[in-house]
Structure 1
Amino acid sequence: MNEDRITTLGLRDVWGGVQPFALSASDRRRHLLLLGKTGSGKTTLLKNLIVQDIRAGASVALIDPHGDLAQEILSHIPRSRSKDVVYFNPADFEHPIGLNLLSSCADDTRHLVSSGVVSAFKQIWKDSWGPRLEYLLYAGIATLVACPAASLLALPRLLTDGTYRRRMLRFVADPVVKSFWETEYSRYDSRLRSEIIAPVQNKVGQLLMAAPLRNILGQAKSSLSIPFIMERGRIFIANLSKGLLGEDKSSLLGSLLVTQFQLAALAREAMPEAKRRDCYLYVDEFQNVATDAFCSILSEARKYRLNLTLSHQFTTQLRPEVREAVFGNMGSIVAFRTGAADAELLSREFGSVYPMHEFTELSNYEVLVKLLAGGQAQEPFRGRTLPALIPQNPARSRDLIRLSQERFGTPRAVVESKIARWLSRQG
């Protein structure tokens, strides 16, 4: 990583002219928050930042719940980086990319994987969540993560098929997990067992009935490796269009992907800091993926050089503990036009330099900015973001999608045939 590289965010008026404002490589490791209403200019700034990183040869990841930005970015990728691109589009039903969250987990990270997966499910089921559901779901995931070639598709069978469950327990070394099944779960009578497993079966089963999710999460082998993307400087673009997938499936996949980046970052613990390659993770509408585990990534990611740029519309979309973690760990903030509630919060966050009405009356692409420089907070100022990039050749996007399909996707018929064979086997 070039420590001298700066990333330009926009322009500001200064005495005698106009001056760009930017962030250094080290200051970007303290993360960046973009906040503002729809149509105020956040997406344009996101696109400009992502394209700068791509052109600089950096490792870049985008999680886009709308899909438009993901598609637009493709047309700006230089030909020299064509083979760096991994385009993850679950709505591409004919070329599903395998994402088995439970495979190839080191023994000492299995508890983190289990917690991350459970947190992702909790995020989409928060209105009907309970301690019993969480307890059973964690036990199931903690079991499957120890089993070779197991995927989330195996969870319903693990709960209902005693022969299959005993076979899987041969791979489980954790005495507490094993004891749960052998001494607690086995004592439940049929009525209690049905009552306990019904919420998990209903919720997980409903998700896995959706072919796009089943064909991605049900593959025994992952063709997508987040650690590889981070360490080899690749470009990962996730098109999680809510309009094509549904809001719950988009949020679940986004949460699971963020968890994967967190785990890949934590795996750098044994790596000398100088060898940790910067990876720039952009998450649009990040409130959709703000799981319980998300708070920890905000505080931990910096030292592992997972540099976050988070974008959203309203702070009221965030749970109080997440909101506190965000503002406690964001080094730099770019505020676009906001509503009154956010204006009050931001006015305090900016040291009351600007009254509330300044935040609510900003024009499109006009911003109030609080930046780090050399690790030190600077006096807030007013600026404007750079103009939107001109869309490039659409054929370029099609070529990159096709290349990614060929390299990382598996034909739908092949995936569904393997899943059908697995489902047809009896315990």
Structure 2
Amino acid sequence: MHLRFYEVAPRVPYDEEVGFAHFAGTPFFVMYARESEELKVYLATMVSKQSLLHYVGAKEAETLPAHYRWWGRLKYRKGKAFYHDVEPVDMQSFLRGLPPGSAYAVWASAEPHLVGSHLGRLDAVLAKSGISGTKGRAAQVIREKLKEPILLADVRILAPRLETLRELEAAFLDRVLVLGFRTPLEFREGRIAGNSFAEWVRTPPRASAFSLLLGKRPFNMSAGKLAALAPIPNPSVIPIPPSRGLPLPDLPPIRPSGFTIGATPTGRVVKLDEGDLVRHCYIIGATGSGKTNALRLLVKNLVDRGSGAVVVLDPHGDLADSVAAYYAEQGARLTYFHPTLAPFSVNPLRLPNLASPEQARLLAMSNLMEMFTRVFWLGENAVYVKYILQNAMNALYSMKENPTFADVYRVILALHDGEFDIDGGPEWEAKLEFLKSIQQTSFVSALSRLELLATNEVLRRVFGSQDVDDTIFLEKGRLVAVNADLSSVGSEASYLIMAGFLMKLWYLVTARYGSGDRTPVFLIIDEFQRIADLSQVDVMLSEARKYGLHLILAHQHTGQLPDSVLKSVFSNTGMKLIMRINGDDVEKLKTIDRDFQTELGSVLSSLPNGGGVL
């Protein structure tokens, strides 16, 4: 027999109908120990931790309190009470009244010979009196007791002083009744000597058939009454920290060659592999929930395993700086960006390297107009502004392969002043005439939207040329960490930096499509809400997988995202890691799995730091 000891806690919401005898199996031992202000409960059982978690919170207990000097053991004062069941009344108030340094403990075990003893007594009663009168009532009491399993119970109170022990004994006896008897029970008191306590907590009670024949009457009761005698403490009555929420399935995915990301409450190791991230990953957690540490863990495993290229976009810099610092020490293949401290140049307007120049221009124009539309907030009515931008880009791409935002700005300015000329034939001449007829406000609008990219010193340095090879973003085993530090450059410039890198990456993965190069690219975006309004993100969620681009998106709460974006994220991410969240987020996210939404509603707001639902 192998018993394990646990420290247990009541679950919230609390169910007063459930006691330890309902689920702990036999034998089991429960001890309620008041060490200071709070009550601690210890349970020894052969039932697995996974099963216990359906009823109580449980964690392994290394030791039990053992400083007690006196104990009292419950026994029958009147032998005939042996056959009658015990009726506990309000044991919650008894537990609440335990003073510091005292304890109440119960051992319970199954003993088949008890049933034979009770049946023998029942036959004897019926033989003498039939079914009427006092003896008939006694027979009915025994029958009722026999309807449930009968368990041996070794009940003890432990205290530091004899006076305290006797006060607790009196309080206990006031709460335990035996039908038909006035004072059927008492305690046998004694000092706790040597190892007697340690031996007792590891030795279930026993009663042999021979001892019962000799007239010994060990304390016993039905399983139902024992559940009331050894209740799960009610946290609204008793000072005991509750374990919130109902348990969820404890079934980690089977990934023999995966990497470890944590363990379940029952100690089962949780592993993932790259295949779990192929259909994108969504991570949400309140500040301090452990979200950034979870992202670091993913970055480390993806880089260390050479799973593909790993690109981190981070507007605050905590994640990007920490992973860059770690891999700089490791001598790994690392490219780090900071807009002022460690800048490099990337030109989002540079044509992708495709076999067909015309196809490259079409792809570039499509992506560029998307960028202008979303980055510069061009609405459906900004027709003329879009027309100006599109023609400016066409003109530039006919002149050079790698125009910059500053070039676009200058061309629009020249078009506005009538000073731009290009040998484009009659078609271009017609466009120039039309452009001259466009209202000045449309030119001013286009110029104002480009001005920050074209004139801001930091953004010109970042996007004004390209001094790194495009292959760094697609190189297996390389980490590109981008800190778009908004504290250094401001919110708008930080947004444009992240949007520019995002566009560059989208260029590259779409341009290589059909080339045979399908190196996975894992794009990790912390503070995802800062670029969630880019419709390119929605396109990526639905289409990026076929281009070998896999998104890992993280932020704090659902209120940061428009409902349409949130719906797209929920629909298009194959893996979701929900860390501690609050308020309305619980109501929204518990519906991710409708079969367990009640359990999720209870669990999600009370997850510990570093804990999550996968």
Pick aligned residue for 1:235 from 457, 479, 482: 479
Pick aligned residue for 2:326 from 70, 76, 79: 76
Which stretch of the first structure deviates more once superposed, 323-332 or 360-369?
360-369
Say if 2:343 is the partner of 1:101: no
1:138 & 1:318 partners in 2: Cα distance? 30
Pick aligned residue for 2:494 from 235, 240, 250: 250
User: How far apart are residue 35 of structure 1 and its match?
Assistant: 0.8
Q: Are the structure 2 counterparts of residues 328 and 244 from structure 1 closer, same or farther at C-alpha, using a change threshold of 3 Å?
A: same
On the 8 A contact 1:51/1:76 being kept in 2, the answer is no
User: How far apart are residue 189 of structure 1 and its match?
Assistant: 4.5
Q: Are the structure 2 counterparts of residues 206 and 103 from structure 1 closer, same or farther at C-alpha, using a change threshold of 3 Å?
A: closer
On the 8 A contact 1:54/1:77 being kept in 2, the answer is no
Helix, strand or coil for the counterpart of 2:421?
helix
The equivalent residue for 1:131 is 382
Helix, strand or coil for the counterpart of 1:70?
helix
The equivalent residue for 1:279 is 521
1:185 & 1:341 partners in 2: Cα distance? 54
Q: Are the structure 2 counterparts of residues 96 and 365 from structure 1 closer, same or farther at C-alpha, using a change threshold of 3 Å?
A: closer
User: How far apart are residue 65 of structure 1 and its match?
Assistant: 0.6
The equivalent residue for 2:421 is 166
The equivalent residue for 1:361 is 606
Helix, strand or coil for the counterpart of 1:30?
coil
Pick aligned residue for 1:205 from 451, 474, 477: 451
Alignment of 1:271-350 (within 5 A): 271-272=515-516, 275-290=517-532, 291-350=534-593
The equivalent residue for 1:423 is none
Which stretch of the first structure deviates more once superposed, 128-137 or 99-108?
128-137
Q: Are the structure 2 counterparts of residues 4 and 62 from structure 1 closer, same or farther at C-alpha, using a change threshold of 3 Å?
A: farther
Helix, strand or coil for the counterpart of 1:40?
coil
User: How far apart are residue 42 of structure 1 and its match?
Assistant: 0.6
User: How far apart are residue 34 of structure 1 and its match?
Assistant: 0.3
The equivalent residue for 1:49 is 298
> Aligned-residue CA RMSD in angstroms?
2.8
On the 8 A contact 1:140/1:155 being kept in 2, the answer is yes
2:399 & 2:260 partners in 1: Cα distance? 47
Helix, strand or coil for the counterpart of 1:323?
helix
Q: Are the structure 2 counterparts of residues 114 and 346 from structure 1 closer, same or farther at C-alpha, using a change threshold of 3 Å?
A: same
Q: Which has more radius of gyration?
A: 2
On the 8 A contact 1:153/1:217 being kept in 2, the answer is no
* TM-score, normalised relative to structure 2: 0.52
1:85 & 1:97 partners in 2: Cα distance? 13
1:72 & 1:231 partners in 2: Cα distance? 21
On the 8 A contact 1:144/1:151 being kept in 2, the answer is no
User: How far apart are residue 125 of structure 1 and its match?
Assistant: 4.1
Unaligned residue ranges in structure 2 (runs of 5+): 1-254
Helix, strand or coil for the counterpart of 2:440?
helix
2:315 & 2:456 partners in 1: Cα distance? 18
2:491 & 2:380 partners in 1: Cα distance? 18
1:360 & 1:113 partners in 2: Cα distance? 45
Say if 2:519 is the partner of 1:267: no
Q: Are the structure 2 counterparts of residues 235 and 4 from structure 1 closer, same or farther at C-alpha, using a change threshold of 3 Å?
A: farther
Say if 2:336 is the partner of 1:87: yes
On the 8 A contact 2:351/2:360 being kept in 1, the answer is no
The equivalent residue for 1:393 is none
- What letter matches 2:518 in structure 1? R
Unaligned residue ranges in structure 1 (runs of 5+): 370-427
1:79 & 1:184 partners in 2: Cα distance? 56
On the 8 A contact 1:122/1:129 being kept in 2, the answer is no
Helix, strand or coil for the counterpart of 2:264?
strand
Pick aligned residue for 2:268 from 13, 19, 39: 19
- Between the two proteins, what is the percent identity of the paired residues? 25
The equivalent residue for 1:157 is 410
User: How far apart are residue 235 of structure 1 and its match?
Assistant: 1.5
User: How far apart are residue 282 of structure 1 and its match?
Assistant: 0.5
Alignment of 1:365-380 (within 5 A): 365-369=610-614
On the 8 A contact 1:89/1:238 being kept in 2, the answer is yes
Alignment of 1:377-392 (within 5 A): none
Q: Are the structure 2 counterparts of residues 324 and 141 from structure 1 closer, same or farther at C-alpha, using a change threshold of 3 Å?
A: farther
1:288 & 1:339 partners in 2: Cα distance? 21
Q: Are the structure 2 counterparts of residues 56 and 232 from structure 1 closer, same or farther at C-alpha, using a change threshold of 3 Å?
A: closer
- What letter matches 2:310 in structure 1? V
Pick aligned residue for 2:316 from 66, 84, 109: 66
Pick aligned residue for 1:10 from 247, 262, 284: 262
User: How far apart are residue 289 of structure 1 and its match?
Assistant: 2.1
Helix, strand or coil for the counterpart of 1:333?
strand
CA deviation string 1:37-96 (max 9, x = no partner): 1221110100111112222234211001101221111222166644x211111123xx64
On the 8 A contact 2:286/2:579 being kept in 1, the answer is yes
On the 8 A contact 1:102/1:145 being kept in 2, the answer is no
On the 8 A contact 1:336/1:359 being kept in 2, the answer is yes
- What letter matches 1:203 in structure 2? R
1:343 & 1:160 partners in 2: Cα distance? 51
Say if 2:274 is the partner of 1:31: no
On the 8 A contact 1:102/1:151 being kept in 2, the answer is yes
On the 8 A contact 2:523/2:549 being kept in 1, the answer is yes
Q: Are the structure 2 counterparts of residues 202 and 57 from structure 1 closer, same or farther at C-alpha, using a change threshold of 3 Å?
A: same
Greater RCO between the two (CA within 8 Å, min separation 6)?
1
2:571 & 2:394 partners in 1: Cα distance? 32
